[in-house]
Amino acid sequence: MAWLGVVPFLAFIVAFLLWPAASIVVRSFLDQQGRLTLQNIADLSQPFIVSSYIYTIELSAVTAAVGGLFGLLLAYAITVGGLPSWARAGLLGFSGVASNFAGIPLAFAFIATLGQLGLVTQWLKGMGVSLYPAFSLYSFWGLAITYVYFQIPLMVLIMAPALDAMRRDWREAAEGLGATGWQYWRFVGLPILLPAILGTMALLFGNAFGAHATAFALTGGGSQSSVVTILIGAQISSDALANPGLGNALALGMIVIMTITIGLYSWLQRLSERWK
């Protein structure tokens, strides 16, 4: 009877994760007539597809690194740093909302703020500083800044409990042996937290790698963006570029990368749990 409570969850996983993933794998090896083929996989070596994967991996890595660094500093400030409880509650509450604020609303917010006619852009222009054309919200760094908005809060939400779990007696023991605060973090704190930090950054990488709506809303799916998810949509639904087999092959490549990312995250999480 205890398993009955898990049935809806298992049904959801099968219907919206396992079955679509299996369908993608099968359709990656079928041509438009439904015959077995390896051409879709071979087409992944085309230069524009390789550059799209590289572009998306670089974008995901940059936003994971920047979001991870600043998110870790914020998480440290509200836990070990000793900020007042109201600041901790406010930051965690905001992080819970901001980490899920993505897609079209996030893209519109940044267009209204940093677009060519955005509030900040016009304010800087009035002060004699012109963002455009040196900077563009629709370029690589524009997308990176937008992605970092939801990467930092996610890092805060995951790392705050990990920092709270650091035992006080570890620091007391280090200080009793004459260690300074820097030496404690260098030789005790950071080595213990490193698997959790790297694992969370791997999760941030996967979070950015699978993002679609934000990039599509910012760029309109135009050629200035080489994000893989937009390319998949073009191959599956476009009238001119429609090639469902290649689109599924692209999605299969994403599944492989995401599987590696999740596997790395799970392994690092197991390492971090040794200290609990």
Confidence of residue 15 (pLDDT cuts 50, 70, 90): very high
Residue 167 in 3-state DSSP?
Answer: coil
Tokens (6 digits) for 209: 């790698």
Tell me the one-letter amino acid at 65: A
Residue 3 has pLDDT above 80, yes or no: yes
Position 82 scores a pLDDT of 79
Position 41 scores a pLDDT of 92
Position 147 scores a pLDDT of 95
Confidence of residue 174 (pLDDT cuts 50, 70, 90): confident
68-90 per-position pLDDT tens digit: 999 999 999 998 887 888 888 99
Please, what is the Cα angle at 252 between 250 and 253, to 5 degrees? Answer: 65
118-128 per-position pLDDT tens digit: 899 999 988 88
Q: Which domains does the chain have, with CATH numbers?
A: 43-275 (1.10.3720.10)
Maximum mean pLDDT: which of 144-153, 216-225, 266-275: 144-153
Position 204 scores a pLDDT of 95
Q: How many CA atoms lie within 13 A of 208 on its CB side?
A: 33
Task: Return the closest-CA partner of residue 77 out of 147, 159, 193.
Answer: 159
For CA atoms 249, 255, 103, 70, the dihedral sign is: negative
Position 223 scores a pLDDT of 45
> What does the pLDDT average to over 154-169?
89
Give me the DSSP letters along 141-162.
Answer: HHHHHHHHHHHHHHHHHHHHHH
Confidence of residue 275 (pLDDT cuts 50, 70, 90): low
> What does the pLDDT average to over 88-99?
91
28-58 per-position pLDDT tens digit: 998 888 889 999 999 999 998 999 999 999 9
